[in-house]
C-alpha cells in the first residue's frame, strides 16, 4: 500500500479540541498568552482546511488537565502500517500518550510503545521511501531517538538522526516536506546539510516560523504571517491554504502538530 501512496496522501486524521488551559501552554520565549477564543477560531479553521483537502477528521474531546494536548502529534506517530505512542520530553506532557491509546487502538492493528528515552513527534519528519528524520532537541534525546528507530523498523521505516542547529525547538519547527523531492527549511537548518540529496527551499530571513507547513494531498497548509514565504511557495507552484496562526504561534504551535494523519485503506 505505501509504495502506491505518497507520504503526504491522507484520508484520515485525529485532532483534539483545545481546552481552556491551552492559554498556559508551553512556550520557548516570553510571548503573551493567546486568547482562548482565538485558539478555538484558528483550530476550527485548521480542521476545515484539512477537510477541504480531502481528509476525514476525528475530533477528540478536550483534556484541560494537559494544556498542550491539542498538539496530538507530539505524543504519537501514525502510519498506514501502525502507530507508535511516544514519551514527550516535557514533564507536563508525560501522560498524554495514554489518553490517545484507546483511539489509536481502534484504528490500527499494531500500536507500539517507546520503551525508553524521550521523543516528540514534532522532531520526526517522514520523507519518501520510508526514510524518517529524527531531530535531537530539548524534547527528543538520544535514547528516545534510538528506541524510536527500532520501533520504526518494525513498521518498515528507516529512521536516522538529524542534528539540528542549537535553539531549534523541534525539527519540524524548522522544516517541512513540500513534495516528494523538496523540503522547506530555515536557513540555519538548510545550511546544516541534514537534507543533502533533497531540493531545499529556504524561508526568507525573519520568517523562520513559516518553515512549518503541512502538505495534505494536493494542498499546502501554511501560516498567513509570512508573506515572502507565501510568495516563494506560490511561485514554486504549491496550492496554498493560508491560515491564521497568530494565537497558536504564541505557544510554539505549528500546523503539523495539531493532527495525526494517515492513509487508511478503503
Q: Is 123 annotated as a binding residue?
A: no
How many Cα atoms occupy the beta-carbon half-sphere of 84 within 13 Å? 27
Q: Which residues pair with 214 in a beta bridge?
A: 221
For the question of residue 24 being annotated catalytic, the response is no
Task: Name, in order, each residue with C-beta under 8 angstroms of 48's C-beta and a sequence gap of 6 or more.
Answer: none
Q: Is 208 annotated as a binding residue?
A: no
Contact 53, 216 (CB under 8 A): yes
Q: Is 141 annotated as a binding residue?
A: no
Between the alpha carbon of residue 60 and those of residues 5, 69, 99, 179, the distances in Å are 27, 10, 10, 29
Q: Which of these is catalytic: 43, 118, 219, 257? A: 257
**How distant is the alpha carbon of residue 46 from its chain centre?**
13
Q: Is 261 annotated as a binding residue?
A: no
Q: Which three cell numbers stand for residue 55?
A: 481528509
Q: Which of these is catalytic: 43, 118, 170, 219? A: 170
Instruction: Please report which helix (H) or strand (E) contains residue 221, including its range.
Output: strand 219-223
Q: Is 179 annotated as a binding residue?
A: no
Between the alpha carbon of residue 35 and those of residues 23, 41, 206, the distances in Å are 6, 10, 24
Q: Is 16 annotated as a binding residue?
A: no
- List phi, psi (to 5°) of 102: -60, -40
Q: Is 251 annotated as a binding residue?
A: yes
For the question of residue 170 being annotated catalytic, the response is yes
Feature table: binding site: 26, 68, 73-74, 93, 139, 251
Q: Which residues are annotated as a binding site for substrate?
A: 26, 68, 73-74, 93, 139, 251
- Give the residue numbers annotated as catalytic, written as ranges: 170, 257
Amino acid at each position: 500500500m505505501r509504495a502506491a501512496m505518497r507520504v503526504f496522501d491522507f484520508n484520515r486524521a485525529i485532532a483534539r479540541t483545545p481546552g481552556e488551559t491551552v492559554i498556559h501552554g508551553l512556550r520557548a520565549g516570553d510571548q503573551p498568552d493567546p486568547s482562548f477564543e482565538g485558539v478555538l477560531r484558528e483550530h476550527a479553521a485548521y480542521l476545515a482546511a484539512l477537510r477541504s483537502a480531502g481528509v476525514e477528521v476525528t475530533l477528540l474531546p478536550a483534556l484541560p488537565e494537559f494544556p498542550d494536548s491539542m498538539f496530538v502529534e507530539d505524543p504519537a506517530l501514525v502510519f498506514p502500517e501502525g502507530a507508535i505512542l511516544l514519551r514527550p520530553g516535557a514533564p507536563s506532557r508525560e501522560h498524554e500518550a495514554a489518553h490517545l491509546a484507546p483511539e489509536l487502538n481502534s484504528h490500527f492493528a499494531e500500536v507500539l510503545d517507546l520503551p525508553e528515552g524521550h521523543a516528540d513527534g514534532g522532531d520526526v519528519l517522514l520523507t519518501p521511501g520510508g526514510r524518517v528524520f529524527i531531530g535531537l532537541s530539548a524534547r527528543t534525546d538520544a535514547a528516545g531517538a534510538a528506541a524510536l528507530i527500532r520501533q520504526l523498523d518494525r513498521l518498515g521505516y528507516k529512521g536516522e538522526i538529524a542534528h539540528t542547529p542549537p535553539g531549534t525547538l523541534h525539527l519540524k519547527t524548522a522544516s517541512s516536506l513540500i513534495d516528494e523531492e523538496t523540503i522547506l527549511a530555515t536557513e540555519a537548518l538548510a545550511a546544516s546539510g541534514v537534507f543533502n540529496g533533497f531540493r531545499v527551499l529556504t524561508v526568507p530571513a525573519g520568517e523562520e516560523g513559516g518553515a512549518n507547513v503541512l502538505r495534505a494531498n494536493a494542498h499546502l497548509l501554511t501560516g498567513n504571517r509570512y508573506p515572502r514565504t507565501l510568495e516563494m511557495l506560490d511561485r514554486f507552484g504549491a496550492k496554498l491554504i493560508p491560515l491564521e496562526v497568530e494565537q497558536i504561534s504564541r505557544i510554539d504551535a505549528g500546523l503539523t502538530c495539531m493532527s495525526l494523519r494517515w492513509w487508511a485503506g478503503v
